[in-house]
Structure 1
C-alpha cells in the first residue's frame, strides 16, 4: 500500500521492518533516503508525526515517539502500542507491513536532554518507555552519567524492550539500574512508593512519560520530594485534530501590514533575531514569514513541537493542550499559539 505523495516538509518513507515487541506493541522501522537524512536527523526523546489512512476522514495525523538512538546511528524506529479507542495505534498494529509507505513529518518535540553527561532518573509507564529508551541508549553511548530507570507495567508480558533492557543493564552495571514495577505483583504505584523510589536520586535530571494518571502521580510525588521544576521533564501527547501536513506558505506581506507591532528578540539555533511582532500574528507565523525555520508540527497547540521559553515580556496563547499551569508559570510558551502583549518599549525576549 502506498501513501499519497506529501508536499513541503513531509516525506513518504518506506517501512523496512515491523517488530512484534509484545502482544499489543509493535516497532516500525523506516528507510530514510540519503537525500533526506539531514531532514530526519533527530535528538533522543523526539517523535515523528505519521499520516495514517482512514476510510472516514481520509487520514488522521498521530505522533509516535522514536525508540531508536541517534548516537547509535540506528534506523528510524517508532514503537506503537494498541489503545482501546486509538484509531492510529490499532491501524498501525494491524496493517503496517514491510514495504508499505507512509507520509512522515520531520522529528519534533522538546522531551530531550540538553546534556547527555548528566545523571538521569527516568520514569516510564507502558509505551512511555519509547522516548525514554531513546534517551537511555543515547546517554549510555555518548554520556558519562548514571541512569536509573523505573518502568511500570501491568504484568511481565507487557514489558516492552524487556530483553534489550536486560542486556543494557548487564553491559553497563555501574551506570544503569533498571527497576521494574508490575501492577500484577505490587499493585498501582502510589505517591509514597514513587517518592521512596525517587529520593536517592533527587539531584538527577528527571524525564517522565506514560499514561496521564501515571505522569501526574510521578510529577506530584517528585515535586513533593523536592525535585526542582527546572529538572522535571514530562512528555504529553494529545490526538491531533488539525492537518499538520498542510504546507504553510508565509510571505513577508502577511505580517508587514498587520497593524500594531511589538519588538521581539528570538534566540533560535544559536542566532538572535530582532523583529517587529504584529499583535495579530503568532510567533511561528512571524518567523516563517521572515524565512526563519521555526520548529513546529501541528500549529494547533496540541503537540509541543514549538515550545519555547519566555525570558522577558508578556504573551498570550490562543490555545494550549500541552503545557500545564506550572509550565506556563515557569515561562514556557507554544510558539504556534503565542501572541504578543504590549508591555512598554523593551522588546519581548524568547528562546527556543
Structure 2
C-alpha cells in the first residue's frame, strides 16, 4: 500500500478577519481562507470545523466548533465559540484570538446537514447549539422554499446568541420563519409535558417537517422523546452529538501511516467516495479510515476516536464491526451507518459509500 506520507496536508491555516461579541460569554470568529484552498474549504449548512488550540501542557488540543455561517448567504466562514466552565479550548479562543491571527483547522465536515432545503423544518437549539442550527436556518430561507420554526432555549435573555440577527430574519421572512424563545429564568427547564403540545401544533395539517436538534445532552434527550411521542419518524429527527477529543487529529498531517500487509485474512473492499470507486483489500486488523489513508485515498475524518462523526459512511453490502459508536443513534446503525475510524470487516466482501 502507498505510504500515507504521500498525501497532501489536510489542515488549513486561516486568518481571523473579524471577532464579534455575540453575548457576554460567546464570540464569533470570521476567517479568510487562502485562495488555493477554498475548494477544500467548501461546506454544507450545519457542518463543523476542527480547530487546533495551543496548549502549554500538550502542545495543542483539538476542538470541534460548528459553522454558524451559511454557504448561501455569508461571504466568509464563521464559527461561534461559547465559554464553558473549565473548558480550555473555548476559554483560550475567547481570551486570546485577535483580528489578524491565524488558526490551524481541518476542512469542514459533519452529517448534521439537510439533504434538501425545500422542505419544512422544526429546529431546536439550546445555548451554543444555535450555531449549526443558524447555518441551516439561514440556508433554508435564502436558498430553499421551506418554512422554519425555531425553538431556542437559554438561561436568560442576556444569554441569547444571535438575538439581533434572529429578529431581523424573523421580520424579513415573516411568512416563513417563526422564532420561539424559551428562557429558563422565566419558564424553567423544558420538559416533555411542556413541549408536547407545542410539537403537536407545529405545522398543523402537515407532518413532512425535518427536525434538527443541537444543545446539551439533557435538552436533546427531552426534545427527542417529545418528538417520538408526537409520532415524528426517527429518520426525520437529526441530533448533533459531540464528544471531547482526547487524541490529535492533526497528527496525520505529519505522521506516516502504516497498515500491516495483507496476510490473506482480509476482505474485498469497494468504496464509493467523491464520484470515484476504489477497490482494495481490507485487512481485518485495520480500520476503514486507516486502510484508505494508507492507500492514498483522502477520506473524510477528524478525531479517529469515534467521537465526531466526520468519517460516517453507509454499508451498501457486507458487514462490519465497530469498537465504538456512541454518537450514532440506534436507528442510524440499523440503516447501515458506520464510523470509518472504528469499522473493521466481518464479511469477506464489503461495499461502503461515503
TM-score, normalisation: structure 2: 0.91
Distance 1:273 1:197, change over 3 A: farther
CA-atom RMSD in angstroms: 1.9
Q: Deviations over 1:200-250 (max 9, x none)?
A: 344211110001111111111112222112111100111110010012677
Q: Who is 1:348 aligned against?
A: 350
SS state at 2:267 partner? strand
- The residue correspondences of 1:120-199 to structure 2 (distance < 5 A) are 120-199=121-200
Q: Is 1:85 equivalent to 2:90 in the alignment?
A: no
Matches within 5 A, 1:146-295: 146-199=147-200, 200-201=202-203, 202-247=207-252, 254=259, 256-295=261-300
Shift of 1:324: 3.5
Which deviations, in whole Å up to 9, do the C-alpha atoms of 1:119-153 show, x marking residues without a partner? 11110000000000001111111101111111011
Please give the TM-score of this superposition, normalised by the length of structure 1.
0.92
Distance in 1 between the 2:158 and 2:248 partners?
Answer: 36
C-alpha change, 1:335 and 1:160, in structure 2 (3 Å) is same
Moved more, 193-202 or 124-133: 193-202
Aligned mates of 1:250, 1:315 — CA distance in 2: 26
Q: How many residues align?
A: 342
In the TM superposition, what is the alpha-carbon distance from 1:56 to its structure 2 partner? 1.5
Once residues 41 and 303 of structure 2 are traced to their aligned partners in structure 1, the CA distance between those partners, rounded to angstroms, is 17
Unaligned runs of 5+ in 1: 1-6
Partner of 2:341: 336
Could you tell me how far apart the structure 2 residues matched to 1:316 and 1:203 are? Answer: 34
The answer to whether residue 334 in structure 2 is matched with residue 311 in structure 1 is no
Query: Secondary structure of 1:319's match?
Result: coil
Q: Tell me if the contact between 2:14 and 2:32 (Cα under 8 Å) persists in the aligned partners.
A: yes
Give yes or no for contact 1:255–1:289 (8 Å, CA) kept in 2.
Answer: no
Q: Larger relative CO (CA 8 A, sep 6+): 1 or 2?
A: 2
Distance 1:230 1:264 in 2: 28
SS in 2 for 1:50: strand
Matches of 1:150 and 1:310 in 2, distance apart?
34
Q: Quote how far apart the aligned CAs of 1:256 are.
A: 4.8
TM-aligned CA distance change 1:306 to 1:84, over 3 Å: same
Superposed CA deviations along residues 13-58 of structure 1, whole A, max 9, x for unmatched, are 2211110000000001111121111111111111111111112211
Question: Residue 40 of structure 2 aligns to a residue in which SS?
Answer: coil
**Equivalent residue number for residue 66 of structure 2:** 65
